[in-house]
Structure 1
Amino acid sequence: MKSIAEGLIEVRKQIAIACENSQREQSSVQLLAVSKTKPATAVQAAYQQGQHKFGENYVQELVTKAQQLADLKDIEWHFIGPIQSNKTKDIAKTAAWVHSVDRAKIIRRLAEQRPSGLRPLNVLIQVNIDDEETKSGVAPSQIAELAALVDDYPQLRLRGLMTIPRANSDEAQQQQSFEHMANLYSELSSQYPEVDTLSMGMSGDLELAIACGSTLVRVGTAIFGART
């Protein structure tokens, strides 16, 4: 069985090659290690290998692991799963970033519940780029409205966009979705100077996502092994 250290080395190499092929600096793409269903000890093992950004899909896992690893002061927690309105308080208190904002009610609750002693919560708007009924996220036409609302709250900081495109064996169609997201991101960043993050690409498609302009890729299984 591959170790977490070995998994991180392989993924970082994959990112480096993708950046080189796209004529991008490797520093322009961040790695988010997605640790859902894995114990805090696995997160700590990755942290010891220099990985400090971690993504969680479930609120209770986020809260529990953040408490268990509270001594790791520079660890950075990202919430990347669907957001239920009754869970916003825990996200607002625990996460540094949230990738999956897709409606006004959630924005208001996160802003109201962000503790005053913490830095503003970094927010990405999730876009349902392929208009899938089973996926969360807003239509591209709704981005501007939600971005303006996020920008109204000093407790929040608009940082960009996130997407999970349709799982597709047709690389041309997948590339079209990624390029559409890159255009939407470019439009948003031209309006808001602090927007600097396009969260796009996972284990199976990170090379194409990086080629199309992703600045952050979300990788779980390739680092931590199969989920339990």
Structure 2
Amino acid sequence: MVDRLAELRRRLPPQARLLAVSKGHPAERLRVAAALGQRSFGESRLQEAIPKQEALADLPDLDWHFIGRLQANKARGVLRHFSTIHSVDSLELAERLARIAAEEGLQPAIFLQVKLRPDPGKTGLSVEQLRAIWPRVQALPALRPVGLMTIAPLDLALELRGGLFAECAALAAELGLGELSMGMSGDWPEAVAAGSTWVRIGSGLFGPKGCQR
């Protein structure tokens, strides 16, 4: 992991930050990454994340991002344990998060998830849906909409992913949003070239799940 992290830092431009996708990896691996200077970690399951956060409570400057599909009944727990949510995929979810965040005295950063290509395995707002709800999302209390998130379909050829990411970047600029959560282990260079500010990398950093090096 030491060499992989050093290589990622060498290749990432200044505007792109590394979100270490730590789902499926034990707290001890996150502690090693933190000792190497990594501070932002992404988890997709609340029940998996909480024990890790408790085990790493002596590292109070860690920055926790929720990147999985967020079920409405998990909203309060996610808000209590994560400062940033990358997967807000409906107005209803945004409204629920805003209400609970106000009750909890929180101001989470959120990314609106957009789906720019047909993909039955992913949720997300269409461009038309996003434009329609954007004024209402902006008006919600307690939330800080900071950017857009998108995931390329698995069957989309690598040479076509740059175009998808560029579309997302243009849409974010249209809405006045400065952050872009785009790119994973297999396509982050294409996402960064299109302007991504957060790349979500798991196996490209930690290796396959269960890997201890």
Q: TM-score, normalised by structure 2?
A: 0.91
Percent of pairs with identical residues: 37
Listed one character per residue, the Cα deviations across residues 95-133 of structure 1 (whole Å, up to 9, x for unaligned) are 010000011221122122226665510000001111212
User: Which of 120, 124, 142 lines up with 2:129 in the alignment?
Assistant: 142
The answer to whether the aligner puts 1:40 opposite 2:27 as a matched pair is yes
Task: Give yes or no for the alignment of 1:220 onto 2:202.
Answer: yes
Residues 159-214 of structure 1 show CA distances to partners (whole Å, capped at 9, x for unaligned) of: 0100001124634422221111111111111xxxxx32100011111111111111
> Judging changes above 3 Å, is the alpha-carbon distance between structure 1 residues 169 and 140 closer, same or farther for their aligned structure 2 residues?
closer
Asked whether the 8 Å contact 2:113–2:149 carries over to 1, the reply is: yes
Partner of 2:77: 90
Q: Out of 3, 6, 21, which is 1:9 matched to? A: 6
Seen in structure 2, the aligned counterparts of structure 1 residues 144 and 62 have a Cα distance that, compared at 3 Å, is farther
Tell me: CA distance 1:86–1:184, structure 2 relative to 1, closer, same or farther (3 Å): same
Match of 2:171 in 1: 184
In structure 1, list runs of 5 or more residues that go unmatched. Answer: 16-25, 190-194
CA distance in 2, matches of 1:118, 1:45: 32
Give the conservation status (yes or no) of the 8 Å contact 2:86–2:111: yes
Flag as ranges the 4+ runs of structure 1 deviating above 4 A: 115-119
Query: Does 1:120 find its partner at 2:89?
Result: no
For residues 25-62 of structure 1, the C-alpha deviation after alignment (integer angstroms, 9 at most, x for no partner) is x2211110000011111111111111100000111122
CA contact (8 A) 1:150 1:157 kept: no
Question: Does structure 1 conserve the Cα–Cα contact (< 8 Å) formed by 2:22 and 2:43?
Answer: yes
Instruction: Output one character per residue of 1:69-109: Cα deviation in whole Å (capped at 9) or x when no partner.
Output: 22212111000011111111111111010000011221122
CA distance in structure 2 between the aligned counterparts of 1:117 and 1:82, rounded to whole angstroms:
21
One-letter code aligned to 1:126: Q
The change in CA–CA distance for 1:116 and 1:46 in structure 2 (over 3 A counts) is farther
TM-score (norm: length of structure 1):
0.85
Q: Which residue of the other structure, out of 143, 148, 154, is the alignment partner of 1:156? A: 143
Which residue pairs with 1:75 in the alignment?
62
Q: Retained in 2: the 8 A contact 1:89–1:109?
A: no
* CA RMSD between the two structures: 1.7
